[in-house]
A and B are shown apart, each in its own frame.
Chain A
Amino acid sequence: MLVPRIIPCLDVKDGRVVKGVQFQGLRDAGDPVACARRYAEQGADELVLLDVSATREGRGHALQTVRAVRRILSIPLTVGGGVRSVQDAEQLLAAGADKVATNSAAVQRPGLLTELRDQFGSQCTVLAVDAARIQGVGQARWQVVTNAGTEATGVDVLDWVERAVQLGAGELLLTSWDRDGTRSGYDVALLRQVAAAVPVPVIASGGAAHVDHLLEALAAGASAVLVASMLHDGDTTVLDIKQELRTKNCEVRL
């Protein structure tokens, strides 16, 4: 039986791990290689590394970081942040990523997903979707936001994910922009609708503070859960999380 994945996420800026609420007030959370090693030893099932650098120098750092992390990491590594072309993806894969995640660039140019699928396969093509609730409508709806949440696109999240999977996305990394970093739990209604709309695995992201939040996301149809602030603050470990999941009858890889 396929078991749910617990995926720590490292936001990396200029070669350092950072964490903040909705990318505001970023705090230094350590060396990426040390963090990656620690999480892998704790039993992480996969690692996501998002390069949040905005500069060309930062991008250079990101490739070095991917190489250094790959050297020590024996679990899958997904890398995203600023992937705009097949060439960008190729560089990251050559540096040691197993999958690449694309976000804003795919919204601007959806054909990028097809190019990535044709070149590397859909199993390698992860679409990151940042979703924000549209306020003041009767039924819950979400729109895609891009460029670190600064740009509302007006694109409906459900329309986008269905189209993206047809174009080539093999996995979705779905972040609730309303919940990210708030520790108030995943947006379960969003997850349920997206997981029902697409046949590919969905990774839940944004808002987890404790294990019951993870269980809610898995019950809503997520195949994996992304955890960041929960771990960076050092108040729990991947191993603690997995042991608690087991006591709650959720089978995990231990």
Chain B
Amino acid sequence: MREVCIVPTGTANVASVCAAFERLGTRPLLCDDPVQIARAARVVLPGVGAFAAAARRIDELGLRSVLLERVAEQRATLAICLGMQLFCARSDESPDAHGLAVVPDSIARFGDGLRVPQVGWNRVLPVGSELLEPGYAYFVHSYRLAAMPPGWSGAMTDYGGEFVSALERGPVLACQFHPEISGDYGQALLGRWLQRSDEVAAC
């Protein structure tokens, strides 16, 4: 049975992530050990809560370099919601905290005149992506990455203007939305990511 290593970044609710991977016939394992995370075939970085708290947690667990290596080596890694924001260098939410800076960009709050947090189903439009398909996915967030960083594919979504709803590079996938609770659309995406992780492992 395929194993999926899920990193508990503090207050993240991982039950939904675990349930989604169980429905896909894999075995989710909660794991915060840097050595295991470095070796694992598949790692999921979920995230709800505050940017600073999650960034601090990553450092406390000694995961910063491990996660950066996984991304640099193009090993199957899935970041969800705040997990995707942690790929960025910083966030308006916690200006003094340091993200992983996989991409050098900053996360900013949605503009005025919108209901914030954005809660609900919004349309995902792939941009040069191999894993993502167009469709509705479930979002819950107040901050977002405004523009696609050079060298990445993924997806864009519109909420009072376009923002980045996914970043993708090989088996490295970061979603602003929650695939684990995005119904059939999300399950299918997780299935394709698992498939991709197998292909990478076979190389």
Point out residues on A near B: beta carbons under 8 Å: 1-5, 40, 45-46, 70-77, 93-98, 119-124, 170-171, 199-201, 223-224, 253
Contact = CB atoms under 8 A, between A and B. Distances in A.
B19 interface: yes
Contact of B115 (A46, A199, A253): A199
Nearest to A96: B15
Contacts of B119: 123, 170-171, 201, 223-224
Interface of B: 11, 13, 15-16, 19-20, 22-23, 48-50, 115-123, 136, 138-142, 158-159, 178, 180-184, 186-187
B120 A75 contact: no
B115 A201 contact: yes
A3 B122 CA distance: 6
**Chain B residues touching A, majority SS:** mixed
Contacts of A40: 183
A95 B18 CA distance: 11
Contact of A98 (B123, B181, B184): B181
Contacts of B187: 74
B116 A98 contact: no
A74 B22 CA distance: 11
A200 B117 CA distance: 6
Contacts of B50: 121
A169 to B, nearest CB: 11
A192 B184 CA distance: 33
Given A74-B183, A201-B117, A2 B19 contact: no
Given A1-B158, A75-B182, A96-B19, 7 more contacts: A2-B159, A98-B16, A98-B181, A120-B49, A171-B119, A201-B115, A223-B115
